[in-house]
């Protein structure tokens, strides 16, 4: 064989080896994507189901309350969507600090630290829940200041008082959820929340519909069902379900409370601002012309948005756990890859719902109403609803990555700037000054979400994952050392 023949043979061999390497890389990438997707959905799937189940309890109670009177229905709806929504968002956010700490400790195989973090979170969150009690005790004057009629405000105040037990269950419910999520024991959440939902349907039907116990009885059914869930989770944790991570009550839980409190407050502000943001739409709609139709149409849109939001919130939890696990294990590349898969998976779900709403806006509205004017307005708002849902499938995952990395304080400031310094003022400008009405207000608020998503995306892309992994290792080592 001549020199030229040898060169051709070498070239063919090199090309073949390069092709084989590319195929192996592609195969490896597909396998990694599949494995990471399985890990993600193992957390996200049961989390989505449990969130939908708990969200449905309030909807079911409102539905049964509709058989009592219009005043009772309005009272429990306002108490749950205003008073409870504030404390729910605040305490839910504060509990996400546990995702950061438990997720990183679990990834580092420091399992004993998880139980200490859980007890620490009970102390901090329950203390904060006590501080939030004036919202319930003074619900009537607060609602009157917000423009509610005396009758509705007074009845809502009565309901709010009887929902205090439900409020006091939040510190334990949310923290136990995150404690189990960080260990990928999410099937427990699905079983217990599903059982509690089935029990709640029966209890509501029997006491509210059959025995006609009244609005106080309806509120008590919610209290009962939420505490049943807490009891189920607690019994599972302390009775051997988490033998490695729960080693009993410890005085170590009282150490480092201030640092935990600061992280919890940052998390609480971050989630509360997100949770309350689009509810501003219903508040401002009362100042527009054709108020009744606008409120009805917006309520339908926000209800659809609220139900769908349970899906990205499930991805938020999954992304937070996966990133925290990988950082705790010192795997910077794994944390980065988990972030990519989380965003892409949630985006695919968002595109699916975006397509459904764009294709069938009238059909969705007809599920809730037969009013032609309301259906027409929902149809007009469908594009805005679709894009709100689409962006809401990206932003929570990025927030989940922030939770897993411990960036809550940074994200809280981003939320304030994006939502309330950009979104709301721009909505007011478009809605009132430029006379675009509710469409203008909503467009402005979407702009705030776009700004927030863009900033979070830049921060995530520029993240130095190796440094984040080192920070997690230092934090875990410090906590472990303080125990001895």
Q: Are residues 118 and 161 located together in one domain of the fold? A: yes
Q: Are residues 119 and 241 located together in one domain of the fold? A: yes
Q: What is the pTM of this model?
A: 0.77
Per-position b or e across 382-412, b if 16+ CB within 10 A of its CB: bebbbbbbbbbbbbbbbbbbbbbbbbbbbbb
| Residue 422 covered by a domain | yes
| Residue 190 covered by a domain | yes
Q: Are residues 152 and 120 located together in one domain of the fold? A: yes
State which of 210, 242, 269 marks the end of a domain: 269
Q: Are residues 230 and 299 located together in one domain of the fold? A: no
State which of 240, 269, 298 marks the end of a domain: 269
| Residue 8 covered by a domain | no
Contact 36, 318 (CB under 8 A): no
| Interaxial angle between packed helices 214-236 and 164-181, expressed in degrees from 0 to 180 and rounded to the nearest 10 | 30
Q: Are residues 468 and 346 located together in one domain of the fold? A: yes
State which of 269, 300, 316 marks the end of a domain: 269
How far apart CA 15 and CA 24 sit, in angstroms, is 14
| Residue 15 covered by a domain | no
Q: Are residues 308 and 264 located together in one domain of the fold? A: no
- Please give the helix or strand (H or E) that residue 79 lies within, else none: none
Q: Are residues 380 and 322 located together in one domain of the fold? A: yes
Q: Are residues 259 and 386 located together in one domain of the fold? A: no
Q: Which long-range contacts (CB under 8 A, 24 or more apart) does 144-151 make?
A: 146/82, 146/283, 147/286, 148/78, 151/71
Dihedral of CA atoms 461, 465, 468, 469 in degrees, nearest 10, equals 150
| Residue 197 covered by a domain | yes
pLDDT, residue 425, reads: 87
| Residue 23 covered by a domain | no
Domain that holds residue 417: 280-484
Q: Are residues 284 and 261 located together in one domain of the fold? A: no
State the Cα angle at 351 between 448 and 401, rounded to 5°.
Answer: 60
Write the CB contacts of 328 (distance below 8 Å, at least 6 apart in sequence): 103, 104, 105, 106, 107, 108, 110, 472, 473, 476
Q: Are residues 206 and 247 located together in one domain of the fold? A: yes
Return the number of other C-beta atoms located less than 10 Å from residue 33's C-beta. 15
Q: Are residues 258 and 133 located together in one domain of the fold? A: yes
pLDDT, residue 225, reads: 93
Write the CB contacts of 165 (distance below 8 Å, at least 6 apart in sequence): 223, 226, 227
| Residue 314 covered by a domain | yes
pLDDT by residue, tens only, the chain of 484 residues: 555 555 555 544 555 545 555 555 666 788 888 888 888 888 888 888 888 888 888 878 877 776 677 677 777 777 877 788 888 888 888 887 787 788 888 888 888 888 899 999 999 999 999 999 999 999 999 888 876 778 878 888 899 999 999 999 999 999 999 899 888 888 898 999 999 999 999 998 888 777 777 888 888 999 999 999 999 999 999 988 888 889 888 888 788 788 778 877 877 777 777 766 766 665 565 555 555 566 667 767 777 787 788 888 888 888 878 888 888 888 888 888 888 888 888 889 889 989 988 888 777 777 666 778 778 888 888 888 898 888 888 888 887 777 777 777 777 788 788 888 888 888 888 877 787 877 888 888 888 888 988 888 888 888 888 888 788 777 777 766 655 5
Q: What is the CA radius of gyration of the chain?
A: 25
User: How many domains does the chain contain in total?
Assistant: 2
Terminal-residue alpha carbon distance, the chain: 74
Q: Are residues 174 and 221 located together in one domain of the fold? A: yes
| Residue 480 covered by a domain | yes
């Amino acid at each position: 064989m001549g020199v030229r023949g040898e060169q051709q043979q070498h070239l063919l061999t090199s090309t073949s080896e390069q092709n084989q390497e590319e195929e192996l890389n592609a195969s490896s990438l597909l396998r990694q994507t599949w494995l990471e997707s399985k890990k993600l959905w193992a957390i996200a799937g049961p989390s989505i189901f449990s969130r939908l189940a708990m969200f449905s309890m309030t909807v079911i109670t409102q539905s049964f309350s509709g058989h009592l009177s219009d005043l009772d229905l309005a009272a429990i709806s306002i108490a749950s969507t205003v008073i409870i929504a504030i404390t729910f968002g605040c305490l839910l956010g504060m509990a996400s600090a546990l995702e950061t700490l438990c997720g990183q400790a679990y990834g580092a195989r420091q399992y004993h630290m998880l139980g200490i973090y859980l007890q620490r979170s009970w102390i901090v969150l329950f203390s904060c829940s006590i501080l939030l009690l004036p919202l319930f005790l003074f619900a009537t004057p607060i609602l009157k200041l917000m423009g509610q009629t005396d009758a509705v405000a007074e009845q809502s105040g009565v309901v709010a008082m009887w929902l205090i037990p439900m409020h006091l269950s939040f510190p334990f419910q949310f923290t136990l959820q995150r404690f189990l999520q960080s260990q990928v024991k999410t099937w427990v959440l699905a079983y217990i929340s599903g059982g509690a939902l089935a029990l709640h349907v029966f209890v509501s039907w029997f006491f509210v519909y059959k025995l006609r116990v009244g609005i106080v009885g309806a509120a008590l059914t919610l209290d009962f069902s939420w505490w049943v869930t807490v009891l189920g989770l607690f019994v599972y944790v302390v009775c051997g379900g988490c033998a490695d991570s729960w080693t009993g009550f410890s005085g170590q839980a009282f150490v480092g409370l201030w640092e935990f409190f600061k992280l919890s407050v940052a998390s609480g502000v971050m989630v509360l601002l997100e949770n309350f943001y689009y509810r501003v739409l219903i508040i401002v709609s009362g100042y527009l012309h054709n108020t009744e139709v606008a409120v009805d149409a917006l309520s339908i849109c926000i209800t659809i948005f609220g139900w769908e939001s349970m899906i990205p919130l499930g991805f938020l939890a999954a992304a937070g756990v996966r990133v925290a696990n990988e950082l705790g294990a010192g795997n910077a590349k794994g944390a980065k890859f988990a972030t990519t898969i989380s965003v892409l998976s949630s985006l695919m779900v968002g595109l699916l719902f975006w397509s459904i709403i764009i294709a069938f806006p009238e059909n969705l509205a007809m599920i809730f109403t037969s009013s032609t004017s309301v259906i027409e307005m929902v149809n007009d708002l469908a594009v805005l609803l679709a894009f709100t849902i689409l962006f809401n499938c990206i932003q929570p995952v990025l927030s989940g990555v922030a939770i897993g990395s411990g960036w809550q304080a940074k994200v809280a400031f981003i939320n304030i700037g994006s939502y309330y310094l950009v979104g709301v003022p721009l909505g007011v400008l478009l809605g009132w000054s430029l006379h675009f009405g509710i469409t203008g207000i909503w467009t402005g608020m979407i702009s705030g979400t776009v700004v927030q998503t863009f900033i979070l995306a830049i921060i995530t892309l520029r993240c130095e994952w190796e440094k984040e992994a080192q920070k997690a290792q230092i934090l875990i080592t410090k906590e472990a050392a303080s125990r001895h």
